[in-house]
A and B are shown apart, each in its own frame.
Chain A
Amino acid sequence: MTNDANDDTQPVDIAKWSETAPRYSEIKRMISVFVGRPLPVIGLVIIVLLILVAIFAPLLAPDPPNQMEIINKLQQPSSEHWLGTDSLGRDTLSRIIFGSRTSLIIGISVTAISSIIGIVLGLLAAYFGGAIYHIIMRFMDALMAFPMLLLALLVASLLGAGMLNIIIALGIGMIAAPCRLMCGVVMSVKQNDYVLSARAMGMSNLRIMFQEILPNAFPPLLVLMTIGIGAVILAEAGLSFLGIGITPPTATWGGMVNDGYKFIMTNPVLAISPGVAIMLVVFGFNMLGDGLRDALDPKLRGVI
């Protein structure tokens, strides 16, 4: 051992030392990449607005969502009803505002359920390999062979309509993507020397999987989950539009498009306004996901 390295008696001038080697913050770099471009920020603003609207829906909405004024049905937009009223005389704006709750709850819970199951299955498959890998991944292949909407339709018609059943139906349909992604990432992460090192230090499989591998495999999943929320909201709207989604009278954007499209010639606002809401929110999540990907991908460092 050389003297300077082992000599503990000599005080180290910490102030000077940290001055020559400034701490480099990865988080700050990510934030600057993320904020540096307009689209992800727009996406973030849309999503923050959506969350605020969903939380403060009762304060923001001019009327209760299910309050019917049959006399005022199918009105054009006016100062009293900004986006008009539907065939039962319910205020469209209020229903869109309350519909944001449904979309957000379903989007987040479905993504959470499918991601957790998908991540665990993908991790198990890639870590243990062999028979476990084949069983899990062939099951995922089978799941992917069905179009997601069709699968959700099948499960929803088996279980019946309703919020919980829709969450289960979409949740099952969405497992394959995170599972496959996780499996691929873990296969490459587990080759790293620190995994071998951890095994050589006597770490248990569980600890290696969840502490050593999972955090290293997580960034791409974060991106997938963000974009996934948009996809789930779209799928839920699709199911509600087909009439097997959330049971009426709960306000959902898909259901509102379904109610409104019969009057598209006379009252276009009725179908178009929830459609625009769906579009904006899905756009927002996709842009956020894109921005996250660019910020988290080490290969793009310095390029953007």
Chain B
Amino acid sequence: MSTLYSKLRKPIIEGDKSLSQVTDDVAKTLETKPTKLWWFAFLLALTALVAGVVAVTYQIKMGIGTWGLNKTVGWAFDITNFVFWVGIGHAGTLISAILFLFRQRWRTSINRSAEAMTVFAVICAGLFPIIHMGRPWLFFWIAPYPNFRGPLWVNFRSPLLWDFFAISTYFTISLVFWYIGLIPDLATLRDRAKTKIKKAVYRVTSFGWNGSVRTWNRYETVYVLLAALATPLVLSVHSIVSMDFATSVIPGWHTTIFPPYFVAGAIFSGFAMVLTLMIIARKVLNYQEYITLDHIEKMCKVILATGGIVGLAYATEMFMAWYSVNEYERFVFINRALGPFAWAYWIMVSCNVIIPQLLWFKKLRRSIVFVFMMSIVINIGMWFERFVIIVTSIHRDFLPSSWAMYKPSIIEIATLLGSFGLFFSAFLLFARFVPFIAIGEVKGVLGYGRTNKSAPQIGHTPEPKLEAVEE
């Protein structure tokens, strides 16, 4: 069956898919047995997760002393991982909410998985503030709830409390948004399900979706509303996370530029993670026609833009340190670049600022191998950015007598590994049990109902020909 395409745009989905083809393509993954590759990846992720669970159990049993922290460096891997994972999450929300509001219809083939990534990343992130506590079994004390201890309230001035609100709100909204988007697809799966159990499960989870126009109408209203709700979170969550540092008095932390700087960094790193995941997924799950080179290139452009902001932020920080004539502030930045953690700083600068400049070249933006490597490099760089901000600022602050070094313990490394294990285990399960691509939404961008009447029907090679418009 041939489709009518606008000649003005290159179609978003390649392969001239029919509606049922889309359903079949996406549902196929869920209806076949997992491949050996999936099992291999899942076991690898599970192993990392188990290592993390063992490490965290040991740490909770013994104490925070099992980390490499000391009286000077009170946070290191824990909060680095926290900020890193929260940052990863931001791309998903940006893709699903902001790009939705901006009518960026190419988002449809990646929004489902990017949102899933957000949910799992926020779960990973949320664990760290809990396990980083000296007495994690009392973590609920940071929630303002009626109690018999006074009643004892929480400290509303503390950015950690703001974090608690920000992260829990973010997680709730992201989860609801993701799930609402899933409902039509779950109904599709329900209709295709062959076993009774599957049918029953999908019937319950799809909330009795019947595909009527009224249902679609309400669904889309809710979707827009949630997108509007989620949009400010993209900006607010990482702004608040950045205030953990910005509201402190420690040179290198106490920086007013942090909120926009962190948000840009979050989107930067989040898109890198989306790219990592999509490049693998499109190959393994055979979604090359849905997640096309154009998608990848567009994301690369986002990375280039946000990477530019991040680079500007680094330069601004340096400039302000010099311009402030504050000896402590100046020292922190000189110490970052030339002190004992200079290696971490230069990893950060090269991975986040220097290497991404290669994305100016279209050829490289469209090279799968290059973009994949770039996405890994940016992930590493952005992890180090948080490490540099946290550790190099506090390890040498005001009084030289207290200057100290930091070296992670094996428990911390295993915990970091475990968080990746948790993330990938969850993501791999997601890829097996939930439609990886939003079937309902992708169908909307296929071209049906958007026929250009004056345009002639075209065949299977939808090369846009601008001269056709003149006819």
A and B associate:
no
